[in-house]
Structure 1
C-alpha cells in the first residue's frame, strides 16, 4: 500500500486529492498538512512514501519543505501547483522533488503519478521538461565546479552516454534502443549512474547533466509529447 501525505493550504484541494486517492485500491492517505512546516513535521512522524506538495503556502513554502523532507526522510515528493512557472520547476527539482505536475491533471493521472513516483521513478510533464531547459539557458552560468567534474569522471563511457540520454528524457525502452541493449541492461546502466553520482532519481540526473556541462542547453530535452510520462 502506498502511503500518501497531502500538503496544500487550500482545504478544497486537500479534500479533492484525498477523495481521488482514497478510492484507489493500492493508495492510502495517511495525513494532511496546511503549510510547509506542518508538512515537514508530518512527514517525519508518519513516514509516507509520497508527499503531494503545493508550492505556495504560508510560512515555509513548498520548496523549502520539499528540501527538508528529502533530506530527512525517505519520502518522495510530487509537487503540484497551479502555476507553471520556470523557477518553480528548477527549484523544486534542486530541492529533491521527484515529480512536478499542474493541478489541472485528470484524476486518474494523479493516481498514476503517485504510483510512478512511489516506484522510484521521476515524472515530469513535457511542458515542464522544456521549461527546465529554458530556465537553465537563462540562468547565468557559475561555471562547472571541480566537484562536478570529479563526479562526472566516476562514470564509464557507457554510463556517460546513458546520462546524456537521460538528459533527453528517454524512457528505459528508448534508452535500450539507443544503446542497443536489453531494457533490463538499460535499467542497470541508469541505476549505476544514479548510484555513482549519489542522485535520488532521473529528475536529479537531468539537472546534473546540465550543471556539470555534460549537456549544453538546447541539445537535451526536446520531446514535445502530449501526455505526462515518467522519465523511465
Structure 2
C-alpha cells in the first residue's frame, strides 16, 4: 500500500489514532484523520488524491448512511464504513448503498490491513457475518501446494500480477488457480476466498 492516501474519520480519539498509526506502520500508507463527517468532508475537499475513505458509522454528522452518500459525492475513490456497534443489517445496507466495505472494529489488526488492501484493489470487503451465512464451506477442503501459495498471496492483498511475479508463474495461471480454489472453498470472489481461507486455517 505504499504511496496510498487514506482518510480515516472517527470521533473516538484513541480508536482513530490507533487504527491510523497501524495503517501507517504496517500498511505503509499515508493516513489523514478527522473527528466528524464535516471534518472528513473538509479534508476531502482539500485533498483530491485520497485512494480510500473510512467513515465511522456513528460519529457526528453521519445521519446513519446519509454520510456515506455525501462522502461518495465528494470524492472519486472507494468509501467504506467502520463500526464497533452496528448490527449486520446495517452492514448489508451500507454495501447495498455503494460502500466499498464494512469493517467491524473487532477485526484483528492484520485483517484490517488485508481488508484495506482489497478495497484499494477495487474489491468489496464483506464482514464475517456475511461469510458465515453461505453454508458452503467444506471443512475437509484440500488445496494443492500451489493453490495454498496463491491463496496466501490473495489473503495478503496482492494482485494476480504480483502473485505471478512472486511465484515465477504466468498471470493467467494465477487466475486459473484463483478460480479453482474459489470453487473448492465455495467463495463468491477472491476477497471471500481470502476470508474463508483464513477462517479455515489455510493461510
TM-score, with length taken from structure 1: 0.54
Q: Which residue of 2 aligns with 1:137?
A: none
Q: Which residue of 1 aligns with 2:104?
A: 102
CA distance in 2, matches of 1:173, 1:78: 29
Q: Which residue of 2 aligns with 1:157?
A: none
Number of equivalences: 149
Given the alignment, which residue of 12, 17, 20 partners 2:14? 12
1:94–1:86 distance in 2 versus 1, CA, 3 Å:
same
What's the offset of the Cα at 1:227?
Answer: 4.1
Q: Which residue of 2 aligns with 1:74?
A: 76
What's the offset of the Cα at 1:127?
Answer: 0.9
What's the offset of the Cα at 1:91?
Answer: 2.4
CA distance in 2, matches of 1:131, 1:97: 20
What's the offset of the Cα at 1:7?
Answer: 0.5
CA distance in 1, matches of 2:15, 2:42: 20
* Secondary structure of 1:40 counterpart: helix
Per-residue Cα deviation, 1:12-71 (whole angstroms, up to 9, x for no partner): 111101110121363111x21111122222223223111121100123346222212223
CA RMSD of aligned residues (A): 3.3
CA distance in 1, matches of 2:121, 2:21: 22
| Structure 1 residues 48-127: aligned runs within 5 Å | 48-61=50-63, 63-127=65-129
Q: Which residue of 2 aligns with 1:41?
A: 42
Does the CA contact (< 8 Å) of 2:44 and 2:74 recur in 1?
A: no
* Secondary structure of 1:12 counterpart: helix
Range with greater deviation from structure 2 (123-132 or 14-23): 123-132
Does the CA contact (< 8 Å) of 1:9 and 1:34 recur in 2?
A: yes
CA distance in 2, matches of 1:32, 1:62: 20
CA distance in 2, matches of 1:13, 1:71: 26
Given the alignment, which residue of 24, 33, 47 partners 1:22? 24
Does the CA contact (< 8 Å) of 1:36 and 1:61 recur in 2?
A: no
Does the CA contact (< 8 Å) of 1:36 and 1:64 recur in 2?
A: no
* Secondary structure of 1:124 counterpart: coil
